Structure 1
């Protein structure tokens, strides 16, 4: 059986040493996919839309990775001084891919920003800075005070959800490295996990073969079999 080809979203950056623009993505995403039996395929951000759709047709699944914030005009968000690493090109590419993957029933997993862009692409909105807009919220942004694998808080997983089936437990401890989160859930999406403060921590698209988003970073918890199961489930759905 051939290995599924899973597209991985990249980000734009500037190489100070080479003085040239680059596209890149953190290694843990591809490492988690390889462990799960897939071949990662990095998706460049400078593809014309027709080439992007052609590439999507050749891929078996997608991972929408973490990263910077989404431009607020895309979800009628409130301006905030803490917004960082905005990338209009990436926003546009990801929104197109989410909508096309939803329409084509293409399996995909959204991680951190990936959950947020899924919600925005399908019509939802975000808190632009949780600490100010939800003063009673937990501390969700734990880097750089803690490492990426620091378990910050538990999440309650909805009984009967695909996520519950994958994780095998109703409550799991997760890392937390975000300052934004879901405010209004897009129509059609279902919240399937939450933090103790009520913030949405996972979403699913019912009736879709595999459309799942998590607010934490499972790729940074390689020794937790439950987290690796998220990638295995994506790969299995992509076969």
Structure 2
């Protein structure tokens, strides 16, 4: 049986000489391969009206981490800590999330990817958690701490896909984000929450696999619960196997 091809979105960063280079942490590809999938870089220059053509050659999409979504997209407050805005990436990923939601196409969002899911379906974000969420935990722990540093716990909601996948009611997770979900999109179900009340996991209940987690499970290869997320994603992308 052929391995299911998983498209992984990537960031385009500007160098000192003002040329753009594509960047993606290898851990995303490693985690997908470990779960039995075949990762490929999603072509980020795809016109929005041609996404279905590209997706026809794939079986699932992973929305990866990266810079911030432009606050103008969701009516957010401007903030000096907002960084890495890429309108082209915003447009493609938001369109991907909408397409996958509507067409029941397997999708996994990680960190920024979870925020994209929420914004695409009508939710909003804190443009800086520390300044805008009273009593917030320290969520942006990297680079002060390593990527696999377990920063805080999350409570996994019962009767969700996430609890069925991880078989946990609580997990310790890493944390590398300064933005997060403020208003949850109407169609999304909250599946994980931090002790300070910040939403850490979302999903569509009546969908084969449409899940977002605010932490970075790809950086935690020794955690069975985190790697189970990738395994479930790849299985959903290859249901005939």
Question: In which range does the TM-score fall when normalised by the shorter chain?
Answer: over 0.9
Write the distance in 1 (CA, Å) between the matches of 2:108 and 2:48: 21
Q: Is the CA contact 2:8–2:62 (under 8 Å) kept in the aligned structure 1?
A: yes
Write the distance in 1 (CA, Å) between the matches of 2:125 and 2:13: 25
- How do residues 222-233 of structure 1 correspond to structure 2 at under 5 angstroms? 222-233=221-232
Write the distance in 2 (CA, Å) between the matches of 1:5 and 1:220: 21
- How do residues 1-239 of structure 1 correspond to structure 2 at under 5 angstroms? 1-14=1-14, 20-239=19-238
Write the distance in 2 (CA, Å) between the matches of 1:183 and 1:140: 14
Write the distance in 2 (CA, Å) between the matches of 1:24 and 1:129: 24
TM-score (norm 2): 0.96
SS of aligned partner of 1:37: coil
SS of aligned partner of 1:120: helix
Aligned residues: 238
SS of aligned partner of 2:56: helix
Q: Is the CA contact 1:23–1:44 (under 8 Å) kept in the aligned structure 2?
A: no
Write the distance in 2 (CA, Å) between the matches of 1:111 and 1:6: 14
> Alpha-carbon deviation of 1:49?
2.5
Bigger drift between 120-129 and 135-144 goes to 135-144
Write the distance in 1 (CA, Å) between the matches of 2:49 and 2:128: 35
Q: Is the CA contact 1:8–1:65 (under 8 Å) kept in the aligned structure 2?
A: yes
> Alpha-carbon deviation of 1:48?
2.0
Write the distance in 2 (CA, Å) between the matches of 1:189 and 1:162: 12
Bigger drift between 135-144 and 6-15 goes to 6-15
TM-score (norm 1): 0.96
Write the distance in 2 (CA, Å) between the matches of 1:122 and 1:109: 15
Q: Which runs of 5+ in 2 are unaligned?
A: none
Write the distance in 1 (CA, Å) between the matches of 2:47 and 2:180: 29
